[in-house]
């Protein structure tokens, strides 16, 4: 369990603002921090990792105090068991994939390295240098390296935002798989609503340093719809007029769906909008594959 209450003055693009965040995150949960860039999400992750110091407050992880301004406690990054994954992977360029993974271990356990290499599908690449890998492969190495640290929190700072949609989907599944398999407590920073829906147990909306809403992704993003039977988050790819109705093509993951929209829908929706497609009473055909 993570208990956090931190305050810090940050220099924003339009003047300084106060980062002031409190939350409690139960173990094995996945929390997403969602918000505009410059709202303090990354700083929050850095504070958890010990790379930035709050002005005041406390951070407690599984009963241990990592930071407490009133007691003058501030554990160094080395003493906090954190798995950190950056947007640009931050792999050590002079080490092979296997050496990158070994570096994360306190005592060498080749069996575990092997297990993770196989789980991430990196076994065949284990002697390659990071610069010879694709973005998706590099991020897999970074993820495996963070997990080998045996972290009490896994911190993912926009880990997939530099990757293409297909790779992103695959890696989202892997993040979810690892999160469950290793019973991790995970905090993810993301800009991508589909990703938030797919991965998070809870999401916190951050705006200029404060959490404005939090709850399940559905509660936070779509508070009006409460009892849909079936829904998915997606993006409007195109809208065209056919006779008196409008047809919108909506992308959900790798699938494309065509949906009928009315004149009044068109007034509020445009191409590129992120939407929730939901159906309250419906009768889908289910066919065994």
Partner 1 sequence: MINPEPLILTLKLAGLTTAILYVVGLPVAWFLSQSRMRLKPVLEAVLALPLVLPPSVLGFYFLLAFSRQGWLGGLWEKAFDHQLAFSFDGLVFGSVIFSFPFMVHPLQAGFNAIPRNLSEASYSLGKSTLETLIKVILPAMKSSILTGGVLAFAHTVGEFGVVLMIGGSIEGKTKVASIAIYDLVESLDYNSAHIYSAILFAFSFMILLTVYLVNKKLDIR
Contact footprint for partner 1 (CB under 8 A): 49-51, 76-80, 82-84, 86, 88, 90, 92-94, 103-104, 106, 129, 131, 145, 149
**Least CB distance from residue 228 to partner 1, whole Å?**
41
Contact residues for 273 (Cβ-Cβ < 8 A; gap 6+)? 235, 236
**Least CB distance from residue 113 to partner 1, whole Å?**
14
**Least CB distance from residue 153 to partner 1, whole Å?**
11
Q: Which of 86/222 has CB closer to partner 1? A: 86
Helix 110-119 with 135-148: angle, nearest 10 deg: 140
Question: Cβ–Cβ contacts within 10 Å for residue 86, how many?
Answer: 17
**Least CB distance from residue 95 to partner 1, whole Å?**
8
Q: Is 199 helix (H, G, I), strand (E, B) or coil?
A: helix
8-state DSSP, 225: -
Q: Which of 92/230 has CB closer to partner 1? A: 92
- Distance (Å, rounded) from C-alpha 70 to C-alpha 8? 14
Q: Which of 163/205 has CB closer to partner 1? A: 163
Q: Which of 4/82 has CB closer to partner 1? A: 82
Q: Which of 57/151 has CB closer to partner 1? A: 151
Q: Which of 8/193 has CB closer to partner 1? A: 8
**Least CB distance from residue 187 to partner 1, whole Å?**
14
Assigned token pair, 136: 């998706």
Which string of DSSP letters, residue by residue, matches 86-134? -TT----TTS-HHHHHHHT-SS--HHHHHHHHHHTT-GGGTTS-GGGS-
- Phi, psi values for residue 112, rounded to 5°: -70, -40
**Least CB distance from residue 66 to partner 1, whole Å?**
12
């Amino acid at each position: 369990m993570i208990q956090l209450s931190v305050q810090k003055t940050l220099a924003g693009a339009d003047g300084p603002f106060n980062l002031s965040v409190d939350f409690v995150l139960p173990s094995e949960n996945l929390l997403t921090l969602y918000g505009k860039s410059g709202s303090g999400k990354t700083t929050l992750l850095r504070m958890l990792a010990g790379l930035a110091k709050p002005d005041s407050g406390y951070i407690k992880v599984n009963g241990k105090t990592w930071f407490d301004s009133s007691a003058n406690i501030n554990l160094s990054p080395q003493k906090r068991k954190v798995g950190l994954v950056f947007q640009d992977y931050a792999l050590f360029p002079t080490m092979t994939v296997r050496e990158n993974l070994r570096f994360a271990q306190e005592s060498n356990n080749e069996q575990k390295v092997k297990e993770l290499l196989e789980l991430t599908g990196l076994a065949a690449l284990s002697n390659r240098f990071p610069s010879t890998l694709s973005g998706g492969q590099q991020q897999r190495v970074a993820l495996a390296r963070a997990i080998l640290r045996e972290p009490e929190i896994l911190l993912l700072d926009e880990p997939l935002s530099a990757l293409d949609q297909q790779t992103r989907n695959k890696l989202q599944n892997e993040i979810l798989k690892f999160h469950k398999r290793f019973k991790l407590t995970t905090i993810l920073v993301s800009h991508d609503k589909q990703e938030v829906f797919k991965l998070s147990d809870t999401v916190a909306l951050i705006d200029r340093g404060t959490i404005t809403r939090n709850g399940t992704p559905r509660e936070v993003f779509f508070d009006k719809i409460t009892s849909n039977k079936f829904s998915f988050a997606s993006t409007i790819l195109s809208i065209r007029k056919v006779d008196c109705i409008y047809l919108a093509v909506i992308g959900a993951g790798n699938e494309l769906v065509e949906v009928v929209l009315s004149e009044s829908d068109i007034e509020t929706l445009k191409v590129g909008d992120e939407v929730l497609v939901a159906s309250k009473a419906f009768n889908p055909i289910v066919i065994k594959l």
